Amino acid sequence: QVQLVESGGGLVQPGGSLRLSCVASGPTSRINVMSWFRQSPGKEREFVAGIMWGGNPIYDTESVKGRFTIFRDNFDKRMWLEMRSLQSEDTAVYYCAATWLGEVPRVSSDYNSWGQGTQVTVSS
C-alpha cells in the first residue's frame, strides 16, 4: 500500500507564501497521478491541483490558478505545492492524494491513497 506524508503547512499572513511537500513510499511504481486537495471546516474536500507523470499540471482555475504551482520529482516520487499570495479563503487542511488512473481526477473517490493532511492557516 502506498503511503503519503505531507509537510510544510503552518500559519502565514495574507499575501504570504508557503510550500507544501508530499513524499510517497511503498509500491510507488503504480502511481500515475498525484494531486492536492483541501478541506475547510464545514466544507467538502475539494480538488486544488494535480499532475500526471510526464504530463502538464491541472489546476482548479477558479480558486488557485496563477497563485499555486504544482510540481513533482518523478524519480523520488515527491510532489510540491508552491502557494503564493495566500488569502484567508485558502485556510484549510491540505491533503496529498495518489491514483493509478490514466488522467487527473477531480473527484476524491477516484484516489487510492491519501496522506494525513497538513494544516494551512492564513491569518493576520
23-63 tens-digit pLDDT? 999 988 888 999 999 999 999 999 999 998 777 888 886 78
The pLDDT score that the predictor gives to residue 12 is 98
Per-residue pLDDT band at 22 (split at 50, 70, 90): very high
CB 4, CB 22: distance < 8 Å: yes
Residue 61: what pLDDT? Answer: 66
User: pLDDT at position 123, please?
Assistant: 96
Q: Which of 7, 10, 21, 5 is nearest to 92 (CA)?
A: 10
Highest mean pLDDT among 22-31, 45-54, 72-81, 105-114: 105-114
- Return the residue matching grid coordinates 464545514: 42
- The secondary structure element, H or E, covering residue 48 is strand 46-52
